[in-house]
Amino acid sequence: MRITGTTRLAGIMGWPVTHSRSPALHGFWLDETGIDGAYLPLPVAPQHIEQALRALPILGFRGCNLTIPHKQAALLVVDRVEPLAQRIGAINTIIVGPDGSLEGRNTDAFGFCENLRETVPGWNPAAGPAVVLGAGGAARAVVAALADAGVAEIRVVNRTLARAAALASDLSMPKVVITIHSWDEVGTAQQRAALLVNATSLGMAGEPALMLDLSLLPPSTPVVDIVYVPLETDLLAAARRRGHPVVDGLGMLLHQGRPGFEAWFGAPVRVTTELRAAILATLAATR
């Protein structure tokens, strides 16, 4: 990479930001497309997020991604928030407009859907209820994505029921029923389900395992785990043994980066096996 006077700039703000795979992801695409661009890690402490975002147009940045802990706070700073991100309650991508204004988007829902449709092309949103485990930030994006895709019934299972209730109320829309369930009901919630998604942090390296009895889940139902460290979680291994189509979380991470890249750097990009291998290598190197 060579920086010139016309290099297009973008980056990711987080605190800390060193764990982020986004510089490797966008760096891969910049190399692949040969675009004169740079994507930088930007360590920004929580108390400086507003100043840092307002500095983007001043410094000539075309936008940025946001990671922990800025995804909710930034929503209150930007000038416009796309309706999907407003419903989810968080933004992860900012586009600087020609007038220097900031537009906030959430691309996690897009990433989730693209990954699911790419891995299980036959998945039909109208086939039946979806079970979503979790009610945190990622679960909100997953539920919004499923509702927008046309899933008519979404069963949300979460430890903290008040959080699930807030999700159901914020994301409710006509023709979509969102029900909430405690973990005691996780077995019955799987009955007749046409999709199961883990959107909790259970099963992630360093977190408690997710050991789920899948015996009530119809055998052809796809099982998605959005956790990507490790890539093959206990849940996916159990689902694979039972013959379910399985979808790991890495593809969601990669696809969610596409809209930002395309807006900042002006070229379409794809998620390829080479890209997956490159990002997997960075995950393995830091484990």
By CB under 6 A, is residue 135 in contact with ligand NAP? yes
Q: Tell me which of 26, 71, 155, 258 is the catalytic residue.
A: 71
Burial track 252-286 (b if 16+ CB lie within 10 A, e otherwise): bbbbbbbbbbebbbeeebebeeebbebbeeebeee
Rounded Cα distance, 154 and 236, in Å = 20
Stretch that binds ligand NAP, among 77-85, 130-138, 189-197, 235-243 (CB under 6 A): 130-138
By CB under 6 A, is residue 197 in contact with ligand NAP? no
Q: Closest-CB residue for ligand NAP?
A: 136
Rounded Cα distance, 71 and 89, in Å = 8
209 and 201 Cβ atoms separated by less than 8 Å: no
By CB under 6 A, is residue 181 in contact with ligand NAP? no
Contacting ligand NAP (CB under 6 A), which of 8, 117, 163, 276? 163
Strand ordering across the sheet containing 130-133: 177-181, 153-157, 130-133, 195-198, 223-225, 246-247
At position 186, the amino acid (one-letter code) is V
CB of 140 to ligand NAP, least distance (A): 8
CB of 184 to ligand NAP, least distance (A): 12
Q: Sign of torsion, CA 81 84 86 92?
A: negative
Stretch that binds ligand NAP, among 171-179, 188-196, 201-209, 273-281 (CB under 6 A): 201-209
Q: Cα angle at 88 between 87 and 89, to 5 degrees?
A: 90
CB of 90 to ligand NAP, least distance (A): 9
Residue bearing tokens 């395992």: 209
By CB under 6 A, is residue 109 in contact with ligand NAP? no
At position 194, the amino acid (one-letter code) is A
Q: Which C-beta is closer to ligand NAP: that of 128 or that of 136?
A: 136
By CB under 6 A, is residue 134 in contact with ligand NAP? yes
Please give the sequence-ordered ranges of beta strands (E in DSSP) within the chain, or none if there are none: 8-14, 37-43, 61-66, 80-81, 93-96, 102-105, 130-133, 153-157, 177-181, 195-198, 223-225, 246-247
Q: Is 175 tagged catalytic?
A: no
Contacting ligand NAP (CB under 6 A), which of 160, 172, 272, 282? 160
- Among 71, 94, 92, 84, smallest CA distance to 143 is for 84
CB of 207 to ligand NAP, least distance (A): 6
By CB under 6 A, is residue 182 in contact with ligand NAP? no
By CB under 6 A, is residue 204 in contact with ligand NAP? yes
By CB under 6 A, is residue 208 in contact with ligand NAP? yes
Which SS3 state, helix, strand or coil, does residue 173 take?
strand
By CB under 6 A, is residue 252 in contact with ligand NAP? yes
By CB under 6 A, is residue 14 in contact with ligand NAP? no
Q: What are the residue numbers of the active site?
A: 71
Q: Summarize as ranges the residues that interact with ligand NAP (CB under 6 A).
A: 108, 111, 134-139, 158-160, 163, 199-202, 204, 208, 226-228, 249, 252-253, 256
